Structure 1
Amino acid sequence: MRLVLASASPARLNVLRSAGIEPVVRVSGVDEDAVAAALVDPKPAEVVTALAVAKAEAVLPLVAAELPDAVVVGCDSMLLTADGSLEGKPGTVEAARDRWRRMAGTSGTLLTGHCVLRLRDGEVVGRAADSEPTTVRFGRPTGAELEAYLATGEPLQVAGAFTIDGLGGWFVDGVDGNPSSVIGISLPLTRRLLADVGVGVSTLW
């Protein structure tokens, strides 16, 4: 049995590799904005969970034909800021700069949604999905530090405009909760969801 990661994130891939799993990567290509817009008055945790489910389901046709006995894992992360806004990838330097100016010296909740689909003979025989919150305490980068960070491009393509496993780690004062969840895939939550569909994580090592 193989674990299929429905994500292009190198950070998620590295977390799984460090934890003994060499996943098959199949990128979903889901329109995240469209999925979120289709939800009716969702709670923040419901948004990230729905996105994780959409990503896992999007790769099913390809995976079912290629790897009929597998588990597919979809993930999504967004930052719930102190002012109640839900932040995904900023995409531009201007948006990332604005976010950091608002986040500096505050705390936010990184929400990570996960979905696990169990395939047997090409058919889905188990589904499990949930999300996990982790509190992130942000430092106060100087103006020069922030501009140098923005110039690297790193914060533009990550949820909340920060990382803890890259250059952004210099500007994060602490994490209250599971660090792997902040990186993008919670090992404890993924293990629990795998168990919910009848798969022991050690069978994937």
Structure 2
Amino acid sequence: MVTTTSVVLGSASPARLRVLRDAGLDPRVIVSAVDEDALLSSLATAAPHEIVVRLAAAKADAVVATVVAETRADDAEVVILTCDSMLLFDGALTGKPHTADVAREQWRRMRGRTAELLTGHQVTRLRGDAVVGSAHSAVATLIRFADIDDATIDAYVATGEPLSVAGAFTLDGLGGWFIDGIDGDPSSVIGIGLPTVRRLLGEVDVDITTLWTRT
């Protein structure tokens, strides 16, 4: 009997979902209800790489609880993918700016400079109601921001795009016009690193090719 493994993406990010779909997966989306602000407060003294991994792991725990509550077949196989991204700039981590004023000020500080986008990844493998494997990793990608003027920053912020994304920029949207280059994995900057997920799946004995819904 061949067991089919389903994939769950524990994220509301349309960019992450698009990356996975373009790469042959068709995950179900379950958004966790993790209080990120409270968790960040408790991790104030942790290293930046540890923080993004711990956030991804917390989301995984919440999604696991949801999936287990719904599981009926004892042999059901589920792989849960969760991530969290933050920008490390001038020694401090920043997430989503949420307001235009914060996004505008952040861009005025970032323009013409570099920063690291850190993305924590967690892969959790479930069989029935039991976790049979988990693996995590953080990936850092260097971002080189263009030296844009105030009018361009204002126009970008006015679109609303940078308000709801980590670091107040995108690589695959309007923000891509203002990124001079990156050193690292572009899919990780978009939100979920395909090479990293492939490696983590290998650590929990899942072959990525068995998860493809199309080729």
Structure 1 residue 40, shift from structure 2 partner:
5.8
Q: SS of 1:59's equivalent? A: helix
How many correspondences in the alignment? 204
Greater C-alpha radius of gyration: 2
Percent of residue pairs bearing the same amino acid type: 58
Q: Which runs of 5+ in 2 are unaligned?
A: none
Q: Please give the root-mean-square deviation of Cα atoms over the aligned residues, in Å.
A: 1.0
Determine which of 84, 105, 109 is the counterpart of 1:76.
84
2:133 corresponds to: 126
Determine which of 22, 27, 30 is the counterpart of 2:26.
22
Kindly report which structure 2 residues correspond to 1:143-182, keeping only aligned pairs within 5 A, or say none. Answer: 143-182=150-189
The answer to whether residue 120 in structure 2 is matched with residue 107 in structure 1 is: no
Letter in 2 for 1:150: V
1:44 corresponds to: 48
TM-score normalised by the chain length of structure 2: 0.92
Q: SS of 2:32's equivalent? A: coil
Deviations 1:91-122 (A, max 9, x none): 10010011100000000000000001100012
Q: Which runs of 5+ in 1 are unaligned?
A: none
Partners of 1:162 and 1:13 lie apart in 2 by 18
Deviations 1:100-149 (A, max 9, x none): 00000000000000001100012101111110000000002222211111
Q: SS of 2:148's equivalent? A: coil
Partners of 1:111 and 1:8 lie apart in 2 by 18
Partners of 2:44 and 2:166 lie apart in 1 by 22
Partners of 1:19 and 1:121 lie apart in 2 by 26
1:192 corresponds to: 199
Partners of 1:18 and 1:66 lie apart in 2 by 28
Q: Is the 8 A contact 1:79 1:159 kept in 2?
A: yes
Partners of 2:171 and 2:185 lie apart in 1 by 12
Partners of 2:81 and 2:152 lie apart in 1 by 36
Partners of 1:182 and 1:192 lie apart in 2 by 17
Letter in 2 for 1:20: G
Structure 1 residue 162, shift from structure 2 partner:
0.2
Letter in 2 for 1:196: E
Letter in 1 for 2:77: D
Partners of 1:64 and 1:129 lie apart in 2 by 20
2:103 corresponds to: 96
TM-score normalised by the chain length of structure 1: 0.97
